[in-house]
Amino acid sequence: MEQRVSFQTKLLHNKWKTDPQTGAVSVPIQHASTFHQFDFDTFGKYDYSRSGNPTREALEETIAALEGGVRGFAFSSGMAAISTAFLLLSKGDHVLVTEDVYGGTYRMITEVLSRFGIEYTFVDMTDLHEVASHIRPNTKVIYVETPSNPLLKVTDIRGIVKLAKANGCLTFLDNTFMTPALQRPLDLGVDVVLHSATKFLAGHSDVVAGLAVVKDEELAKQLYKLQNAFGAVLGVQDAWLVLRGLKTLHVRLKQSSESAFAIARYLASHPKVEEVFYPGLTHHPGHSVQRYQASGFGAVLSFRLADEEAARTFVKHVRIPVFAVSLGAVESILSYPAKMSHAAMPKEERERRGITDGLLRLSVGLEATDDLIADFEQALSHVKETPAVSAR
Amino acid sequence: MEKVETLLAQIGNRSDTVTGTVNPPVYFSTAYRHAGIGQSTGFDYIRTGNPTRKIVEEAIAKLEGGDQGYAFSSGMAAIQTVLALFESGDEFLVSADLYGGTYRLFERGWRKYGLSFQYVDFRDMQLVENSITEKTKAIFLETPTNPLMQETDIAEVAKLAKKHGLLLIVDNTFYTPVLQRPIEQGADIVIHSATKYLGGHNDVLAGLVVARGEDLCQRLAEYQNAIGAVLSPFDSWLLIRGMKTLALRMRQHEENAKRISEFLAAHEDITDVLYPGRGGMLSFRLREEKWVNRFLQSLRLITFAESLGGVESFITYPATQTHADIPEEIRIANGVCNRLLRFSVGIEHVEDLIADLSQALQKMKEV
């Protein structure tokens, strides 16, 4: 498809829209693990499915086009994508990581990479001076998540890229919360975009998958070598399910973001809610940067109730959202970071980062906004009034 | 009751009480163990009932406001099973403008067994009433019709059906329960080709039926099991997955279709646009028959294919595709002429679709 079309249309119309042999409008699932070679001397494009598979390739080329990269890579989970990308590093290298990084990435860096002599420092990425002051001569990667999980802190992508380029580092960015529908990091100079495709990209809580996209041919070659050598590739059935999910990405994200905005405003005006974290709210510290570097605010928000008891009461009475880990699905998902995504973190460390016992994270699904707000209204009515100051 | 968007997004959630999975499992098991004699779990043999299929069946029943839902291996299998309710000698009144596959099933299939079908224009209710005979047992409606997009007042027809003791069957494929709920207007049975909007991604073949009334529901369950044209567990699951985004897809289809109908109506090489003002389907006629093939070949974005209701835009040529099995003189007399094209408007950006139509409408005239 040479014509220039909008992102919304590109989700449906790309070189994979019809099968060249049969005209089928849905990509076939190629279960074959190996491929017959027609010529003794010259092998075809596909030989073994770990190295390359037509169904997985359809997904890889699709995500590359959507992110504006030269090549995409599909992995068996978001962590497999992130871990494989980290294999670009060598012993003695140093990586700077956003301090409120996802717990799984935190574990990979502190418990696995550290054993191979890769050094790390966690920094507050919203403070560019802080980032600059921690760059060392052996720093090779700056690893960013924006907006961050669960406090939705916004990092200035261009600012980080400038620092990285000046110091000869690569920038990795986890784009799971935004997806290319709202934020295209490669256009802003990022080198490697990573995704837990389990979330908004696939969107239906029914497939675990990870994706990586790069813009540079040389980097693409290196990452391909690692994908093939390490072998944590995505299965074909799952690749197909992600492709199917992508077709409705635009409409899903549009609906969920609209609802998230309305819910954030509703919660912000509720007396029992102490604080709401959503980059769409004008008082959010990252609001203007977010507006500048992304085309929307996404469908995830967090909010703080008084304490654990308040959170417990709310969760007990809420009827529509499922109470579970994960996000980015057709169903609304309510999470409790203190005991879920950040359970592994010591309490003081967790609270220092703002993840208090009253904090809840909400991934907004496709239910009618009014139904969700009505549900929260009744659940909040069971929460006790905030204790008086004297109670302290 | 919760709104339709909420019902759709939550299909199958909380269905598994053991693991808490938010997505219903696909049960491939063909048989189900019983703890002892007479101790069925509610599932015995996959054809009779399957936990994954049950979720989609209950969902469509709730969405359509009926008592029970049934899933079949295709829309035609759904119609076939509904017709098993009747016997030799029974007569039907049917929408004159009708999907070719339904016409074929009636004329080449059931006529052999002694059922007969009278095709009438439901815009003329007097004509409909005059066509009822002693043997008439049911009315089979498509609304809007395919491909001429004529809407029928279901409540009016239901009144007539009630007066004469007829069963009212409505094919709700084009509108889905998001836009039209025939049972609430008095229909007894609703049929869907779920391959279309309900599945929505052009990748699953399925049919659904919803009925109301205990006796009717029980008989349909018996025939579903006896005939056995049931939907497979994996396809049931894919259909559930598709239905979760139905409401927002329909909204986008409709928004796009409205804009496109305006664009086409204003185009000098198009003589008519048939769009009822709702939904994502429309038909239009080119001024010259000789332009049709060239127009279809010039489309770059929109796919020339049969079927409808998917996220991708499709244009169909009823004369050689969906309605090829209707004899030419009947087809043309009904208005499905050789200049008619049917457009299933997808969820792409509407400007991209209009740009594609514009260039194809231009190119079709270049020789």
Residue B322 confidence (pLDDT): 87
Residues 208-247, chain A, touching B (beta carbon < 8 A): 244, 247
Percentage of chain A lying above the pLDDT 90 cut: 80
Residue A392 confidence (pLDDT): 36
Residues B15-51: pLDDT tens digits? 877 778 888 888 888 888 888 888 888 888 889 999 9
The nearest CA of chain B is from the CA of A60 a distance in Å of 20
Mean pLDDT value of segment A299-313: 97
Number of separate helices (H) and strands (E) present in chain B = 13, 12
CB A330 within 8 A of CB A324: no
Strand B270-274 with A170-174, pairing = unpaired
Give SS3 for A94: strand
Q: Which residues of B touch A332 (CB under 8 A)?
A: 9
- What lies within 8 Å, CB to CB, of B258 at 6+ separation is B275, B277
- Residue B57's alpha-carbon distances to A71, A254, B12, B25, B60, in angstroms, are 42, 29, 11, 15, 5
Tokens coding B316: 């169909």
Confidence of residue B306 (pLDDT cuts 50, 70, 90): confident
Residue A1 confidence (pLDDT): 40
Burial class of residue A1 in the structure, from the number of CB atoms within 10 Å of its CB (0-12 exposed, 13-18 middle, 19+ buried):
middle
- The shortest CB-CB distance from A366 to any of B14, B244, B312 is to B244
Mean pLDDT value of segment A318-328: 93
**A366–B248: do the CB atoms touch at under 8 Å?**
yes
Kindly tell me if the per-residue pLDDT of B326 is higher than 80: yes
Cα–Cα distance, A348 to A356 (Å, whole number): 9
**B248–A255: do the CB atoms touch at under 8 Å?**
yes
Q: Which residues of B touch A371 (CB under 8 A)?
A: 2-3, 5-6
Cα–Cα distance, B162 to A225 (Å, whole number): 71
**B301–A18: do the CB atoms touch at under 8 Å?**
no
Pick from A229, A232, A182: nearest CA to A211: A232
Residue A261 confidence (pLDDT): 98
Strand B189-193 with B207-211, pairing = antiparallel
Helices (H), chain A: 7-10, 54-67, 78-86, 103-107, 128-134, 157-166, 179-182, 217-230, 236-246, 249-268, 287-293, 308-317, 347-352, 369-381
Residue B21 confidence (pLDDT): 80
Classify residue B320 by its DSSP letter.
T
Cα–Cα distance, A288 to A299 (Å, whole number): 18
Kindly tell me if the per-residue pLDDT of B10 is higher than 50: yes
Q: Which residue has the tokens 């409409």?
A: A251
- The shortest CB-CB distance from A322 to any of B22, B203, B346 is to B22
Domains of chain A: 7-246 (3.40.640.10), 250-383 (3.90.1150.10)
- The shortest CB-CB distance from B9 to any of A6, A250, A330 is to A330
- Residue B10's alpha-carbon distances to A297, B62, B68, B240, B245, in angstroms, are 24, 12, 19, 10, 10
One-character DSSP codes across B188-230: SEEEEETTTTTT-SS----EEEEE-SHHHHHHHHHHHHHH--B
Measured between CB atoms, does A14 come within 8 Å of chain B?
Answer: no
Phi/psi at A205 (5° precision): 55, 35
Question: H-helix or E-strand containing B273?
Answer: strand B270-274
**B352–A322: do the CB atoms touch at under 8 Å?**
no
Mean pLDDT value of segment A13-22: 82
Average confidence score pLDDT of chain B: 94
Cα–Cα distance, B235 to B239 (Å, whole number): 6
Average confidence score pLDDT of chain A: 93
The nearest CA of chain A is from the CA of B315 a distance in Å of 13
Measured between CB atoms, does A206 come within 8 Å of chain B?
Answer: yes
Answer yes or no: B196 catalytic.
yes
**B244–A247: do the CB atoms touch at under 8 Å?**
no
Residues B157-198: pLDDT tens digits? 999 999 999 999 999 999 999 999 999 999 999 999 999 999
CB B61 within 8 A of CB B208: no
Q: How many residues in chain B? A: 367
Cis-peptide, bond into residue A279, ω within 30° of zero: no
Tokens coding B258: 């409205």
Residue of B nearest to A6 (CA): B349
Residue A387 confidence (pLDDT): 57
The nearest CA of chain A is from the CA of B147 a distance in Å of 22
Best to test chain B binding among A3, A4, A8, A9 (most B CBs inside 10 Å): A9
Classify residue B134 by its DSSP letter.
T
Residue B363 confidence (pLDDT): 97
Best to test chain A binding among B55, B197, B203 (most A CBs inside 10 Å): B203
Catalytic residue set of A: 50, 102, 174, 199
Residue of A nearest to B355 (CA): A5
Residue of B nearest to A249 (CA): B245
Best to test chain A binding among B239, B249, B299, B312 (most A CBs inside 10 Å): B312
Catalytic residue among B47, B123, B219, B278: B47
Residues B236-250: pLDDT tens digits? 999 999 999 999 999
More confident residue, A4 or A218: A218
Kindly tell me if the per-residue pLDDT of A391 is higher than 60: no
Residue A388 confidence (pLDDT): 47
Catalytic residue among B53, B70, B103, B171: B171
Strand B270-274 with B281-286, pairing = antiparallel
Pick from A85, A90, A88: nearest CA to A74: A85
Instruction: Give CA A39 to chain center in angstroms.
Output: 43
CB A195 within 8 A of CB A246: no
Cα–Cα distance, A9 to A181 (Å, whole number): 11
Residue A38 confidence (pLDDT): 83
Phi/psi at B243 (5° precision): -65, -25
Q: Which residues of B touch A8 (CB under 8 A)?
A: 347-349
Domains of chain B: 4-243 (3.40.640.10), 246-363 (3.90.1150.10)
Rg of chain B over CA atoms, in angstroms? 21
Residues B128-167: pLDDT tens digits? 999 999 999 999 999 999 999 999 999 999 999 999 999 9
- The shortest CB-CB distance from A12 to any of B5, B247, B346 is to B346
Residues A210-258: pLDDT tens digits? 999 999 999 999 999 999 999 999 999 999 999 999 999 999 999 999 9
Residues A27-64: pLDDT tens digits? 888 888 888 888 878 888 888 889 999 999 999 999 99
Cα–Cα distance, B66 to B163 (Å, whole number): 21
Cα–Cα distance, A215 to B5 (Å, whole number): 39
- What lies within 8 Å, CB to CB, of A248 at 6+ separation is A11, A203, B245, B248, B249, B311, B347
Q: How far apart are the first and last CA of chain B?
A: 58
**B312–A18: do the CB atoms touch at under 8 Å?**
no
- Residue B104's alpha-carbon distances to B100, B112, B117, B173, B322, in angstroms, are 6, 12, 11, 18, 11
Name the residue type at position A45. Answer: K
Residue A36 confidence (pLDDT): 84
Give SS3 for B91: strand
Answer yes or no: B171 catalytic.
yes
Residue of A nearest to B302 (CA): A13
Residue A3 confidence (pLDDT): 55
**A12–B348: do the CB atoms touch at under 8 Å?**
yes
CB B283 within 8 A of CB B309: no
Question: H-helix or E-strand containing B59?
Answer: helix B51-64
